[in-house]
Amino acid sequence: MNKNWKQTFDIAEKPQRKILGLMSGTSLDGLDIALCVLEGSGRKTRARVSHFKTVPYTAEWRAAVKAIFSKRDADLQQVCLLNEQTGILHAEMILSALKEWGLQPEDVDLIASHGQTIFHAPRSLHGMPAYPNATLQIGDGDHIAMRTGIITLSDFRQKHLAAGGEGAPLAVYGDYLVFSKAGENRIMLNIGGIANFTFLPADEEASRVFSTDVGPGNTLMDQYMQQQFGRHYDEDGKVAGKGMANEQLLAALLDHSFFGAGLPKTTGPELFNLAYLEAAQLKTGTTGLSPEDVMATLSHFSARSIADAIKATGENELKIFMSGGGMHNNVLTSRLQAELPGASFFTTADLGIDPDAKEALLFAILANETMAGEPQPFSAGSGIPPVCMGKVSFPF
Ligand SMILES: Nc1ncnc2c1ncn2[C@@H]1O[C@H](COP(=O)(O)OP(=O)(O)OP(=O)(O)O)[C@@H](O)[C@H]1O
Ligand SMILES: CC(=O)N[C@H]1[C@@H]2OC[C@@H](O2)[C@@H](O)[C@@H]1O[C@H](C)C(=O)O
């Protein structure tokens, strides 16, 4: 047997695996690296994050990715170059994180790499019935495996598409295995560039579980902050906090077929971008609003769209566990709490998982399932195909 397969087989049989989960999200802020310790698989999975850091991207890399990110007329050569360069960059970031933690590549069993989404095109967004749901992540896993010497699983979303899904959200697979609790209706709410949540019913019935994107988390606020203030994001919601939400603009922002469509659904900055905001401002004659008022309106927009989707679960007694960068924005979270007076709010830290590490942990869980688990029995119409995901890259 080839040595790579033997090693893979041995890792699959281990009672405990150390998996380095990597997530680079739509905010393009940095690479989240979480060293996760996983025991068991399926509903018997026990997961903890032993080391975590976000390695910030350089302004140059961010600018290069932004030039192609969610753009229909992107330069194909740049896409091709960045696919390789991002893989190399992620490998280097991993090696320096391991060094900082006093660890060697041999201390890690596997890498689980999400890569960088550069375009997300479910049918609901591209609108062409002859084409399938599609999504594209760059940062090739072979570079990561060869440079680190660690077996790498990557490109998780393609299997989900192949099985009829939209390629996202994948959070449901990890949330159900690790955070479901009998007797509690839980919402696992991640407020990243795009906001999404998983509903975990109190009866833990897999057929009732679902996961969905709900609209912009931070992406519109971030894009507007970058355009108006040259800052990556509105730290602690300070700018939005100084403004007043405009009801006409808010109503126009909420007036899109995406919000009326049934759950589950996915989206991205391909829809929620500055052109979307400008169209709503033109429609309502609000182009003269102060940047602070626009930010306050965008903050309400994110809160309202998240709250409306959560209300659509029809459950009253909900425990909401937040994660993602948006949970640090007090203006946004206060608004959300005002929109959902019946719910109680927590973060995944209350469940022992650093909220900033949660998505990186998800990919470690997905890799763990591919190595040692079996597909879960989600219901046929839930948009959650019963699949194991990820492609394998060997170090030699
Ligand atoms: N202190 C803070 N105050 C306000 N906003 C913050 C703060 N810290 C982080 N954020 C927001 O969180 C964003 C990053 O969130 P996160 O890393 O969860 O997104 P992501 O993983 O890139 O997105 P996605 O989950 O959609 O792929 C920042 O761009 C910013 O908008
Ligand atoms: C295509 C893509 O990268 N989607 C991301 C994005 O960021 C948040 C939201 O949109 C979610 O659908 C997904 O990521 C998480 C990790 C998921 O698949 O669950």
| Average model confidence (pLDDT) across the chain | 97
213's CB contacts (< 8 A; 6+ apart) are: 168, 169, 194, 195, 196, 264, 265, 266, 267
- Residue 356 alpha carbon, nearest atom of ligand 1: 18
pLDDT in tens, 257-290: 999 999 899 999 999 999 999 999 999 999 999 9
Confirm or deny that 149 is annotated as ligand binding. Answer: no
- In a 13 Å sphere around the CA of 268, the CA atoms on its Cβ side amount to 24
Query: What amino acid is encoded at 142 in this protein?
Result: D
Predicted pLDDT at 382 = 81
- Check pocket membership of 117 for ligand 2, CB cut-off 6 A: yes
Confirm or deny that 236 is annotated as ligand binding. Answer: no
**pLDDT higher than 90, residue 325:** yes
Confirm or deny that 30 is annotated as ligand binding. Answer: yes
**pLDDT higher than 80, residue 381:** no
Helices (H), the chain: 3-13, 59-66, 76-100, 123-126, 141-148, 157-162, 171-179, 219-229, 238-241, 247-254, 257-260, 274-284, 291-311, 330-339, 358-372
As a whole number of angstroms, the distance between CA 386 and CA 206 comes to 11
As a whole number of angstroms, the distance between CA 129 and CA 258 comes to 17
pLDDT in tens, 195-218: 999 999 999 988 899 999 999 999
Which position has the token pair 């049934």? 262
Contact by Cβ (8 Å): 153, 113: yes
Neighbours of 235 (CB within 10 A): 11
Q: Which CATH class is domain 3-170+357-393?
A: alpha beta
ipTM: 0.98
pLDDT in tens, 76-111: 999 999 999 999 999 999 999 999 999 999 999 999
Q: What is the DSSP letter of 74?
A: -
Q: Which ligand is nearest to the CA of 139?
A: 2
- Check pocket membership of 214 for ligand 2, CB cut-off 6 A: no
- CATH 3.30.420.40 residue ranges for the chain: 3-170+357-393, 180-351
- Nearest protein Cα to ligand 2, atom 17: 169
- Nearest protein Cα to ligand 1, atom 7: 328
CATH number of 180-351: 3.30.420.40
- Nearest protein Cα to ligand 2, atom 9: 194
Q: Give CA 46 to chain center in angstroms.
A: 21
